[in-house]
């Protein structure tokens, strides 16, 4: 028979051992620890887009002090975070100095990668990275091993800062010489440097970049920054670490550099030939201007987005060539968009192997796994599906032609920023379609590739073969 004292003790024990209700902060932390890296990246990108939309919606962000429409503020924030460059309002006219600064910060964060920025802050404050943070950052930076994430982060920070400073130093004196004023020249040089290396394509001047057509002092630094930024941090890391031993470069670095150079040459000679006699672009220009203009135009579809010639006045063939280049995009792990250069190269190598009857896809004395080819096909099909659906919706929502709507869709999905001039006149529902395209284009292929890489299963029972008719 229990006594009153024992019953009180049991009641105190049960009360002491009762589980506590988790706080809201703990619930959020628990959800984040269980979330996949792809979900965390989506959540962080979405949160940052909301924050920058709020900043751009402030009256202080506009030149006339009038609050920007929510759709236009959101469109600009997404374009900046996703380093695209498409705009619904004139950047150099509509936004104030505060608004341009907000856009510049958004470009910098979006180009580095928000999880990369968070990891850099963690390294500087705590001098270490947790396992979960290493996994997430490795996915974003394309680090091959978790142990090298810290080194990759440092290379990313140093290389991006060095190239941006070099572009800034190259452009600022030229801006001073062209009578922009000291303060304006410093700001324009910094803005152009960040926008170029991060492949954003935002132009802070009301006159645009058409005023610099054929000008080597402006176009060459911008083109070099865009070109290097589009290679990707994994390639930069390999080149920096093994600069004197190219034979030891990874297959990814060799494939990216080789395909990038080939695409540039095709684009250069293509634009030079197609626009040589076009009076609206390069037809009445000097030989030097034609060469520089064609070279600049050949780099920009890699996700740069700057343009010294009117895209709307280019020949139809040049726009088709630009469409292809924008869809391919830049290197994996870079600030560029598209399906990525390596995806395109692997698909071409797979087709070539099939034509020659080779059982394996080989490049640089290495064999490519079948799983990698399947990932490339998955990225291609999903990307093409997004472009098709968005183009179809724009055709239904606007009076513009297939050529124009396809160009804008590919520019948004490839995070390029080139435009035929119709973006500013699109209805709100069409702007939302492009917003989704920019969002998916920046995160879609990256997260899809990572998701396909980890979704491999081993089946104990294999079904019998049967070959359908192909072709």
Query: For residues 463 and 361, what is the distance between their CA atoms, to the nearest angstrom?
Result: 25
11 located within any domain: no
Burial of 278 (0-12, 13-18, 19+ CB in 10 A): middle
Residue owning tokens 């119709």: 422
Please give the structure tokens belonging to residue 442: 């920046």
CA dihedral 139, 140, 144, 150 (to 10 degrees): -110
The pLDDT value recorded for residue 122 is 41
6 located within any domain: no
Residue 211: give the domain boundaries. Answer: 35-453
Task: List the single range of 60-74, 85-99, 370-384 with lowest mean pLDDT.
Answer: 370-384
Task: List the single range of 117-131, 269-283, 384-398, 410-424 with lowest mean pLDDT.
Answer: 117-131
CB under 8 Å to 163, separation ≥6 — which residues?
A: 197, 225, 228, 229
Average pLDDT, whole number, for the chain? 81
462 located within any domain: no
Average pLDDT of span 360-380: 88
Query: For residues 312 and 326, what is the distance between their CA atoms, to the nearest angstrom?
Result: 16
Query: For residues 89 and 185, what is the distance between their CA atoms, to the nearest angstrom?
Result: 23
Supply the DSSP symbol for 231.
H
Question: Does 94 or 31 have the greater pLDDT score?
Answer: 94
User: Model-level pTM greater than 0.85?
Assistant: no
What DSSP letter does each residue of 249-311 carry, written as one string? Answer: S-HHHHHHHHHHHHHHHHHHHHHHHHSTT-TTTTTTS-HHHHHHHHHHHHHGGGTT---SS-G
The pLDDT value recorded for residue 456 is 53
- Note the pLDDT tens digit of each residue in 145-164: 444 555 566 767 777 888 99
- Note the pLDDT tens digit of each residue in 230-269: 888 778 878 877 878 888 888 888 999 999 999 999 999 9
- Note the pLDDT tens digit of each residue in 313-334: 999 999 999 999 999 988 877 7
470 located within any domain: no
24 located within any domain: no
Query: For residues 395 and 387, what is the distance between their CA atoms, to the nearest angstrom?
Result: 12
At 387, is the pLDDT very low, low, confident or very high (cuts 50, 70, 90)? very high
Please give the structure tokens belonging to residue 350: 């797979």
9 located within any domain: no
What proportion of the chain, given as a percentage, has pLDDT over 70?
78
Query: For residues 348 and 337, what is the distance between their CA atoms, to the nearest angstrom?
Result: 19
On the CB side of 420, how many CA atoms lie within 13 Å of its CA?
Answer: 23
381 located within any domain: yes
**Do the beta carbons of residue 386 and residue 439 sit within 8 Å?**
no
CA distances to 39, 87, 361, 452, 453 from 456, rounded to whole Å, are 19, 40, 20, 7, 7
Element spanning 366, H or E? strand 366-368
Q: Would you call 72 helix, strand, or coil by DSSP?
A: helix
The pLDDT value recorded for residue 463 is 76
Query: For residues 274 and 297, what is the distance between their CA atoms, to the nearest angstrom?
Result: 12
Average pLDDT of span 280-284: 90
Tell me how many domains the chain contains. Answer: 1
Phi, psi dihedral angles at 92 (to 5 degrees) = -75, -10
398 located within any domain: yes
CA distances to 183, 248, 457 from 145, rounded to whole Å, are 44, 17, 22
Is pLDDT of 112 > 70? yes
């Amino acid at each position: 028979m229990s006594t009153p004292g024992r019953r009180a003790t049991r009641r105190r024990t049960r009360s002491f051992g009762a589980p506590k209700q988790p706080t809201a902060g703990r619930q959020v932390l628990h959800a984040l620890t269980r979330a996949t890296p792809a979900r965390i990246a989506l959540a962080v990108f979405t949160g940052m887009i909301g924050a920058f939309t709020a900043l751009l919606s402030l009256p202080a962000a506009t030149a006339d002090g009038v609050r920007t429409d929510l759709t236009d503020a959101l469109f600009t924030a997404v374009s900046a975070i996703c380093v695209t460059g498409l705009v619904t309002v004139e950047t150099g006219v509509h936004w104030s100095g505060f608004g341009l600064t907000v856009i510049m910060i958004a470009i910098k964060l979006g180009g580095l990668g928000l999880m990369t920025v968070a990891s850099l802050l963690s390294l500087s404050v705590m001098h270490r990275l947790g396992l979960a943070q290493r996994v997430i950052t490795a996915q974003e930076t394309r680090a091959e091993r978790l142990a090298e994430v810290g080194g990759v982060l440092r290379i990313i920070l140093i290389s991006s800062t060095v190239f941006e400073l070099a572009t800034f130093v190259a452009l600022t004196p030229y801006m001073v010489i062209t009578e922009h004023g000291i303060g304006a020249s410093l700001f324009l040089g910094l803005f152009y440097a960040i926008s170029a290396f991060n492949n954003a394509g935002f132009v802070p001047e009301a006159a645009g970049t058409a005023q610099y057509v054929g000008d080597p002092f402006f176009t060459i630094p911008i083109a070099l920054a865009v070109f290097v930024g589009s290679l990707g941090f994994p390639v930069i890391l390999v080149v920096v670490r093994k600069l004197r031993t190219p034979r030891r470069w990874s297959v990814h670095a060799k494939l990216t550099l080789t395909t990038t150079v080939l695409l540039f040459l095709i684009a250069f000679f293509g634009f030079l030939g197609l626009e040589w006699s076009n009076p609206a672009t390069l037809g009445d220009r000097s030989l030097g201007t034609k060469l520089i203009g064609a070279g600049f135009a050949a780099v920009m579809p890699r996700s740069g987005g700057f343009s010294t010639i009117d895209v709307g006045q280019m020949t139809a063939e040049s726009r088709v060539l630009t469409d292809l280049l924008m869809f391919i995009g830049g290197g994996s792990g870079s600030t560029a968009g598209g399906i990525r250069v390596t995806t395109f190269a692997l698909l071409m190598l797979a087709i070539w192997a099939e034509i020659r009857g080779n059982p394996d896809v080989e490049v640089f004395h290495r064999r490519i796994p079948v799983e990698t080819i399947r990932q490339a096909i998955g990225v291609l099909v999903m990307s093409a599906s997004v472009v098709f659906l968005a183009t179809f919706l724009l055709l239904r929502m606007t009076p513009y032609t297939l050529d124009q709507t396809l160009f804008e869709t590919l520019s948004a999905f490839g995070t390029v920023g080139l435009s035929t001039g119709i973006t500013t006149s699109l209805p709100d529902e069409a702007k939302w379609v492009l917003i989704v395209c920019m969002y998916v284009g920046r995160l879609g292929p990256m997260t899809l590739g990572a998701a396909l890489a980890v979704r491999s299963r081993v089946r104990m029972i294999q079904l019998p073969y049967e070959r359908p008719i192909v072709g």
